[in-house]
Structures are given as structure tokens and as C-alpha cells.
Structure 1
Amino acid sequence: MTANVTKLEDNKVRIEVEVPPEAVREGVEAKVRELRQKVRVPGFRPGKAPRRMLESHLGRDYIYMEALQDRLPSWYSQAVIEQNLRPIDRPEIHFDEPLDEEEGFRFSATVAVRPEAKLGRYKGLEVPKRKVEITEEDVEARLEELRGQFATLGAVEDRPVAEGDFVILDFNGEKMTGGEVPGASAEDYMLEVGSGEILEDFEKNLVGMKAGERKQFAVTFPMDYEEESLRGQSVLFRVHVKEIKERELPPLDDEFAKEASEFETLDELRGAIREELEEAARRQVEGEFRTAVLDAVAKEAEVEVPEVMVEDKAEEMVESFERSIRAQGVDPESYYRMAGVSRDEMKERVRDDAADTVKKELVLDAVVAAEGIEPDREQIEHEIGHIAEDGGRKPEEVAETMRRNGTYQILEEEFARQKALDFLVENAVPTEMPEEEEEKVEAAAEGGGAAEKSVTGEE
């Protein structure tokens, strides 16, 4: 099969394709075999009618048109892959002559393809970078966190409940108008007071109670409570505090270091914690810097982002979100109901991020082209090896399938973009970040907002 591509206006191309006679014959014969099994021809058993009788019964034009409907999409896809095109919409297909097993078949397709970004300055850009700084307070906080993991609970007998205590209690909830509230009763329930595990007002009412004390109090459920029937309802709780326990932390000494780690002394453990925090901070800052460099390069570039690409990317992002919550055992439809949002509204919320991601993908593609960047073949083989192992197939088979359906090209694209971003970062000039901006970035990092975007294919 041969194909010629002509560039048109508005990021469109026309592909003129010539399908050889042997490919046409193969398509027609495959359709004949299929129809033999489905169509009953008088005087012949199913699957036994000669082709000429099938043509007489159905008409050659009908068989050819059926074969064309089956094969045209694959002929078009093959031409797209061979010509290394990136369609972003459905093609308009045109042909004048029908299939011909002797002469072959010719058709053309007009389709919109990815626009090319016009790069501005992309090398030597000055980009602020946050300093990696771990304080003694950071080390001590991590040490206290580790210490808490080895805490024990000891009985409290000489004082009432305080926030942070663990209590073992029985409780029963009743509607103010009478009748028990489903799920609002328990026996020997252990609760960390102030943890927010139960309603805030419920936990506050436990503070000051003594072991063995009984108490009743009313709690009003918030308007955003998960169970709709309880929203805004006042419930009377009868509570019996049976035991009070407090967290007892082990002393910070060498014995603790031996128990909590592979180190012999507390000083060694502190040093290891500092190294761990510094390495995590370096990775965080590097991720922030990579994101900032790509932002800066994209700001310098000119690119028109087609709406169809934004729509596809938004759909892809929502599907990715749905897969992630399914993996956590949450049904997407149930999530949308609980969140009070529809799937379409969710897609609309991510639309700006989708447009930004598409723009940056196009910018990285332009850098790949400008610098002649090639994807790392070892990385691709490694990835295909993983896919093959998961599917119980040979890597060569997986690679061939991916080449035929175009996913190999997508994999190459992703790895080339990663190398393009590496190139941009290597050629950027890090500058000192102003203190106010650094505080904002640190706050965003603590909230998970500084993670590198999926446009790079990295976590």
C-alpha cells in the first residue's frame, strides 16, 4: 500500500492511498468466507456455497461494499501509521471507484492533525528554584512520628478524659422524636478523642468525663453528612465511658534506635532521618523545577490548542481518575452521587488543566523535532517487556501488535517527551527563588500541589 500526504490549511492534511489488488482480494475473500457462514443459499449447506452462487444470490456490489466497510478503516489506519501522522479528529473519506480485485482501490482522506507549536526561547531560560533545606525541627518531627509508632497505651485512673486520650465506651443514639438511629450504637468502642473519627461535638462531650461515668447529650448532624436522612437532625446519645487510656511514648535513647531501626545509636538514627528527608526534599524540589521550566518554555511558545484535543484530554483525565478510585474499591457513580457532581461537571472542572496539558505536550513535541531527539530504545523495550510479562506473551509479539495498532508510536512519543523535558531542564538556568514565592511553593508542596504533571509521563 502506498500513501502520499499533502498539507492543507487549518492543520489539515489530505492522504491519498493506493491499495494494491492483492490486499483488495484478501479483503473480499475474507468477506465471502464470512457471508458463506451467515447467508443461506438454496441448494447448498451453510458454508458450502461457491462464491459465484453467493454473488448471484447477494450481488457482487453488495459483497464489495461489505468488504469495503470492513477493510477501509484498517487501510486508513495503516496509512496514518506509515506516514507518522497524528490525527485529532475523524477523517473525511472520499473515493470515486469501487473495489477492483484486478486494479486495486484508491481513496483519499482529509483529516485534522496535531498543530505544530512555534517555539520561542527554550534554552538558557532563567527559572527560580527552591533551596533544599532540612531543619533540626524537621528531623525531630520525623523522629517523634516514628516514636509514636512504637507507643503503648497505659490506663489512666487519676484524671478525666482529655483530648488525645483513647477511651473505651458504649454509646447509643436515639432520635429526639424517639426511635434508634441505625449505625449510631456500639459497645466496647475504642476512640481517640479529638481525632475526628466520630462527630466533633460528640468527641468534645467526652472531654472531662471520668472512667465509669455515664452521660447523655444531644448532637446535631451537619448538613453535609453522608447519610442524607440524618442531615440537620438532632440525636440524643447515651454514653458510658468504661476505660481511659493514654499514649505512652518510649524514651528517645539508643535502645529505642535499636528497636525502631537497624542503627545502634540515636545519633545514627537522627543522621539517617536527615539524609532521608534531604533526599525526599531534593526529589520534590527537582520535580517543582521541572514543572516550572516547562511552564516557562510553554509561556514563550505560540500554539493554538484545538478544542477536540482538549475534549479528548479531559475525557482521558476523568477516565484515569475513575480507574484510580475503582482500584480503591469505590464505584465512580457512587462517588459522583456522594460528591454531588455529575461526570460532565467533573470533566468541565478539569478542562483548563486539560488545555494546559495539551499545550505542553505540543511544546515538547516541537522541542523533540527541533533538537532531533530520539526516544530511548532500551526504555521502550523495558516497558514492552513489562506489558508482555503481565499478559503472558512474548515481547516481540507485543511490539508487533503495538506497531499495527499505533500504540508503539504513542509509547515512542511519551519517552521522547521525557527526554525533551530532560533537555530543557539541563539547559535552564536555576535562579534563587524570592522568599515569598518560596513560601507559597512550600505550602503547595505540602498540599500535594507541586507534583509534576502527567504531560511528562513521570510520577
Structure 2
Amino acid sequence: MKKRISYALGVTCATALLLGGCSSSSTYGKYMTLGEYKGLEVSKIKTEITDDDIEQEISYTLDDSTEYNEVDRAAEDGDMVNITYSSTMDGEDFDGGSGEDVDIQLGAGYLEGDILQDAESQIIGMKAGDTKEMDLTIPEDYYFDDTLAGQSIQVTLTVNTVSEVNRPELTDEFVASISDFDTVDAYKEDLKKTLEASAEENNEYMAGSDALTQVVENSTFKGYPDNLYNECKDLYDQTNQAYAEMLGLDVSDFEGTDEEIKAAVESMVYEDMVVTSIAEKEKITVSDDEYTQYVENNLDTYGMSSVEEFESTYSKESVMDELLREKVQKFLLDNAKVTEVSEDEYYQEYDEGETYSDEDVVDLSLDDEAETEIVDADTEAATEAASETGSEA
């Protein structure tokens, strides 16, 4: 399934703040030699928005406008049912075998690859309050735990509610009710421009990030301030915890080994040192006015209704650091040899290219000789955005 382009843009922006630089107020001359950062060769994706892209975005919009009306009758194909279930295997409970208040649209493929895949036909005909015992077989493509594939299970399933699904049709009237346009054609034309602008912003950021990675590879590091590493490690931990909570996972499920964690944090450290060094050499700064304008212009992107709500989730420092990074990345692209490529060509190059490694870095674990100021910031449950800390090395 293709990702929703406009949604992906919001995720990219939020992720940028989550993973932004750990500090942007230090001079790192004694720890590194900045590599070549002008005249880089950079590939940039050129996205072609197709009719399929437009239709899929419209499908998302129709889904968002769909109404679900509870009915007092037996469930039919196409209905949305809310269920609670529990399962046993040879009389024993097992991970992933139960769920409460789970919404399923019958016939929409919601249960494909799920332990309840074969239960769908048996749910049809049940009414709210009905409970049924089912003997099922876990499908061979069970995504949660392939060691359970093909096993027989016993399921107790209760239907809590049955709802009719009323999905609107794309008409001029519908378009007028959700937009400033009166016709479907005008709406599609504007949607295409919006998707193109979103894709271009994403592609620009990716190309700039690739350019920054090249500069890191071109630079030589002989250590880093301990406080900078600690701040990046805190940010790394907070970000992973936020993602884990949003995805309903445990951090240990995706965090990696101690060596991989150290490498990931050091990558953040080196990028921060490079961004700061380039900004200092080229006198690139971010003003308070630029910060304010950015926040006011992007409230909708972040799903915020006011500047106050935004600032309760993201620290000003994290935004300023990310804006500085974006300015540096733009500077790199403005001074690079940029080649536009298709998405397939880009990812083929990416797969064939060498990834950044810290094998050439001599980690002297130098003591930080400078005074450090730690700035604490809150994280909100909705986005669990981790605000980073500032330091002077």
C-alpha cells in the first residue's frame, strides 16, 4: 500500500523535531576537522504524482468522512463490528490470542493474516451481545508469530456492536462540503498541486540529509564532548520510548544491541558537530522571527490549534536546532551538483552505496572541559516528542 503523501509530510516534520540536533551552540574545532561540504554530488528524487496517487488520497478523504451507525440486526458483509475475543491453544493462553473492543469491517480484509482470519464468515449473522465458540486454524502467513502458523486454536468471540458503514461518494456536493471548491475536477487539480508540493518538500529534505551525511563522511573526528553524547543519548532514548508507546511496542523490540545504540547516538553527535561547524563558518543563523513564523505557518501540519499548544509539546530550542539544520542542508544543496532521479533509481543507488560507519573514528572519550547548561522540556502523550538539551563545549 502506498503511503499517504500529505500524512507522510507531517510525520517527516514531527520526526525531524524528535531527531533534531542535540546541540547547536558549540565550537568543535578541537574534536574534528570539517570535510569538504561544497560541490557535493547529490541525487534528489523527482516525484511524479499519478492519477492513482490522487485517487488514493481521495480514498483516504472519503474514509475520513465515513459514518458508522449502530444497528440492531445481524451483522452483514460490509458492516463494522466491534468484538472482544480470547483464544487458547491446547487449553493454554498465548501471546496475541486475545483482544478487547476490536473494530473489524467485514469483507474489507481487516483480518487477513490474523488469527481470526477464518472467523469472519462466522461473525456474519451474529448480533450485538452474541457470543460464539469457534475452532480456528492460525493462517500460514500469520504476521505476529510465524511459529504459531498452522496451529489449531479455540476462540471465544463476543460481538459488542454492529454498525452500518455509510461511505460518501465523490460528488460536487461532497467536494463543496469539505473544501473551497465547487467541482470534483477543481478539487482534483488542487489536490495534485498539494501532493506535488508535499512530495517536493520531502524530497528536498531527504536530499539535504544525504548531503549532510556526505559531509560527515568527509570529516575526521577524534572524539566529542561527553555532555554532547549524553544529551544525544537522552534524546535517542526519549524518541525511541515515544515511538514504542505510539506503536504499542517495547523499546527493546527494535532498539538493537549496545554497539548499535552507541553507533546511532554517535551518528547524531557527528551530524550535530558538522551542522554547527558549517553554520559557524558560513554565518548561518536562525532568528526569533523565523522561529515564530515557522510555528505559526505549520500549526496545521503538526495538528496543533495554537502556538501555546505547540510550545507545550516542542521546545523552542528543538525547533531552532531543526531550523538551523534545514538551513545548513539547503546551503549544502545550493552549493552541490544535484541530479534528479526517479524513486526507483534513488533507492537503487541507496542500496548499492556505502552506509556511514564510525570505523575510522578514534573515540578518545575526551572529558568535556566546558560548562554545560541542560534545558529540560516536556513531552506530550499525543506525539511523545522528545525535546533535546543544549550545551556548550
Range class of TM-score, shorter chain: 0.5 to 0.7
Tell me the distance in 1 between the aligned counterparts of 2:83 and 2:280: 67
Q: 1:118 to 1:265 in 2, by over 3 A?
A: closer
Paired residue type of 1:352:
A
- 1:295 match: 213
Output one character per residue of 1:384-440: Cα deviation in whole Å (capped at 9) or x when no partner.
xx9xx98xxxxxxxxxxxxxxxx99x9998776554433222212211326643355
Deviation of the 1:368 alpha carbon: 3.5
- 1:281 match: 199
In structure 1, which of residues 119, 141, 161 is the aligned counterpart of residue 35 of structure 2? 119
Tell me the distance in 2 between the aligned counterparts of 1:150 and 1:414: 34
Output one character per residue of 1:95-151: Cα deviation in whole Å (capped at 9) or x when no partner.
xxxxxxxxxxxxxxxxxx84132423x223231111132111111111122122233
Q: 1:203 to 1:370 in 2, by over 3 A?
A: same
1:134 aligns with 2:49: yes
1:431 aligns with 2:334: no
- 2:273 match: 362
1:201 aligns with 2:115: yes
Q: Unpaired segments of 5 or more residues in structure 1?
A: 1-83, 88-112, 391-406, 444-453
Name the one with the larger helix percent.
1
Tell me the distance in 2 between the aligned counterparts of 1:369 and 1:168: 57
Tell me the distance in 1 between the aligned counterparts of 2:143 and 2:200: 43
Q: Which has the larger radius of gyration?
A: 1
- Please tell me whether the aligned partners of residues 314 and 351 of structure 1 are also in contact (alpha carbons under 8 angstroms): no
Deviation of the 1:298 alpha carbon: 2.8
In structure 1, which of residues 313, 316, 319 is the aligned counterpart of residue 234 of structure 2? 316
Tell me the distance in 2 between the aligned counterparts of 1:430 and 1:250: 44
- 1:375 match: 285
Task: Identify the structure with bigger relative contact order (alpha carbons < 8 Å, sequence gap 6+).
Answer: 2
Paired residue type of 1:141:
Q
- 1:249 match: 167
Deviation of the 1:361 alpha carbon: 2.7
- 2:104 match: 191
Q: 1:117 to 1:232 in 2, by over 3 A?
A: farther
Listed as ranges, the matches of 1:45-84 within 5 Å are none
- Please tell me whether the aligned partners of residues 224 and 231 of structure 1 are also in contact (alpha carbons under 8 angstroms): no
Paired residue type of 1:366:
S
- Please tell me whether the aligned partners of residues 257 and 264 of structure 1 are also in contact (alpha carbons under 8 angstroms): yes
Tell me the distance in 2 between the aligned counterparts of 1:240 and 1:414: 49
Tell me the distance in 1 between the aligned counterparts of 2:155 and 2:330: 60
> How many positions carry a matched residue from both structures?
301
Deviation of the 1:256 alpha carbon: 1.6
Q: 1:293 to 1:346 in 2, by over 3 A?
A: same
- 1:35 match: none
In structure 2, which of residues 250, 255, 273 is the aligned counterpart of residue 335 of structure 1? 250
Tell me the distance in 1 between the aligned counterparts of 2:40 and 2:288: 30
Question: TM-score, with normalisation over the residues of structure 1?
Answer: 0.49
In structure 2, which of residues 329, 336, 340 is the aligned counterpart of residue 421 of structure 1? 329
Tell me the distance in 1 between the aligned counterparts of 2:201 and 2:209: 12
Q: 1:442 to 1:257 in 2, by over 3 A?
A: farther
Deviation of the 1:297 alpha carbon: 2.7
Deviation of the 1:278 alpha carbon: 1.3
In structure 2, which of residues 106, 109, 125 is the aligned counterpart of residue 211 of structure 1? 125
Q: Unpaired segments of 5 or more residues in structure 2?
A: 1-24, 297-306, 309-315, 352-386
Tell me the distance in 1 between the aligned counterparts of 2:51 and 2:350: 17
Tell me the distance in 2 between the aligned counterparts of 1:178 and 1:301: 57
Q: 1:195 to 1:376 in 2, by over 3 A?
A: same
Listed as ranges, the matches of 1:257-272 within 5 Å are 257-272=175-190
- Please tell me whether the aligned partners of residues 310 and 355 of structure 1 are also in contact (alpha carbons under 8 angstroms): no
**CA RMSD between the two structures:** 5.4
- Please tell me whether the aligned partners of residues 135 and 152 of structure 2 are also in contact (alpha carbons under 8 angstroms): no
Paired residue type of 2:278:
V
Tell me the distance in 1 between the aligned counterparts of 2:333 and 2:79: 50
Paired residue type of 2:134:
Q
Paired residue type of 2:207:
F
- Please tell me whether the aligned partners of residues 67 and 165 of structure 2 are also in contact (alpha carbons under 8 angstroms): yes
Question: TM-score, with normalisation over the residues of structure 2?
Answer: 0.56
Q: 1:326 to 1:114 in 2, by over 3 A?
A: farther
